Every structure is written in structure tokens, then in C-alpha cells.
Amino acid sequence: MADPLSIAASIAGLVGLADIVFARLVKFGRSVKNAEEEIRHLAQEINLLGGALNSLERLAQVLKDDAFDTNLRMHNIDDCRETLKEINRKLEKLEATSSLMKQKLMWPFTKDRVKEWLDDLSKHKENINLALSANSLDAMLRVLSQEGHHATEILAEIKETRKIISRIHQDSERLKVLNFFLKYNPQKNYDMSIRLRQSGTGIWLQKLQDFQHWLSEPGSKLWLKGIPGASKTVLAGSIIESALKRSTEAIPSAFFFCDYKEADTHTIESISAP
């Protein structure tokens, strides 16, 4: 994945392609007499898809300053482009053949083929509308990098994670009090550990009986050790997330990161402040 501007430009190019296909279908709809209903449905679906893509482009522009995982690929956008290119190639070829032979335009595609296109376009539109629910560039890209129901699961997970994090920031007065006592805010360490985490990281740990015992048993302790670079910070983020999901107003959760690069994290005052 390239920079945010390239992401927006890629989506914008797809908007332009949808416009071209829509215009060709409108032209065919005026000339062809044997498939008006099929052409109308196809043009309508592409017009709706183009509108969703246009909204997605604007969202990408708004979120362009957000941090995101550069390894993510917009598979859903690529699939959408292939569908539109295929329809456009067919229409372009049909248009050229009719012009060359100086014959009246005829609609050569079967109802089954048109239905396949309609199904594909509907699926692309659904995925794009799902991505429009994202509130960060990374979340948007994670949805667009998945297929079908996986995209729904990813977005639900992202929303749940953000809901957990927002508990720290939900009230301005509480935030002022928090900042007064908080010598060092560990939230940035937690956010970084979540960003660095790959899909599936830490699942093995969460399945361990010792971990489940620590998570559910009051007063229990858990000690993990590892060499530098062994992804302890990433695992810590996964552990904290599991604890926060169980957190309630009556039983809150607190966390802290001791960072060798930050002297402020080495004192009892800082550690006990959260």
C-alpha cells in the first residue's frame, strides 16, 4: 500500500471508471430494444456503486493524516475494479463491433451473465458501505482488505476496541483530573502495541489455562519474560485488551508500560498514578 494520497487517487480512478460504464449503459439503454430492463438494473447498480465510491474517496481524503498499516491491500477495491473493467471491455467491444458493421446495437448478454454482474456489484457496494462506517484510515483499509463476512467481523472488532479506549477519554473533567495525576500516559504505548499486532498474534496465550486463571481469579499474578525483540510489548497489548473487555464501572482495569527509553516510567509515582 502506498501513501494516503495514492489511496484516495486509486478510489477516484474507480469513480471515473464507474462513470464511464454508467454512461455507456445509458447509451445502450436508449438504443437497444431487447433488454431495457436488464440494462436499467445494471446502470442503476453501477450508479449506486459510483456514489458509494465517491463517498469513500472523500472519506479517504478526510482521514489522510491518520496512521495506518502499510501492509494492508485494498482487495475489495481491486475486485471492484476488475468487475467494472470487465463490463466496460464488453461494452466497448460491442460498441465498436456495431459501429464497424453499421448495425443496430443488440444486447448479447444472457440474463444469467447480467445477474452475475449485478450480484458482484451488489457485493462490492456492500463492502464499500461497510468501509464508510470506519472512523480511521487504518479501520477503513482493514475492511477493504478483507472479503465478505470477514470485513464485518473486522469492523466490529475495531469498533469494540475503540469503545474500550474511549472509556479513558469520555469525560473532559475526568480527563483533566487524570492528566493532573498522570505523570506519564501509557495510552500511546498501548496504541502502538495494537498497531504492531498482526492478525492472530497472542491467541495462543489467551487460550492458556494459566492466562484464563489470571484473568478471572482476583489477586492472581502472571509473569511473562522474553529476550529483547521477542514482541513482549505486542503481547502486553493483547493482554491489556482482554482485561479491558472485562472491565466495568464497578471493576475497572489499569495498565502501565515501563519503557527503558522513558525515565518517567521507572518511578513508583508514575506507575501508581494510573
What pLDDT, on a 0 to 100 scale, did the predictor assign at position 174? 66
Residues 6+ apart with CB under 8 A from 201: 231, 234, 235, 238
Lowest-pLDDT choice from 23-27, 66-70, 255-259: 66-70
Residue carrying the nine cell digits 521477542 = 230
Lowest-pLDDT choice from 68-72, 160-164, 183-187, 204-208: 160-164
pLDDT 10s digits, 102-157: 455 667 788 888 899 999 999 888 888 878 877 777 777 776 776 444 555 655 66
Q: Are the beta carbons of 155 and 242 closer than 8 angstroms?
A: no
pLDDT 10s digits, 225-268: 877 766 778 888 888 888 888 877 778 888 888 877 778 778 77
What pLDDT, on a 0 to 100 scale, did the predictor assign at position 117? 93
So where are the chain's domains?
4-147, 183-270
Which pairs with CB-CB distance under 8 Å and at least 24 residues apart come from 130-135? 130/155, 131/56, 131/59, 131/76, 132/52, 132/55, 132/56, 132/59, 134/59, 134/158, 135/162
CA 72 from chain center: how many Å?
A: 9
Q: Which of 117, 119, 120, 13 is nearest to 56 (CA)?
A: 13
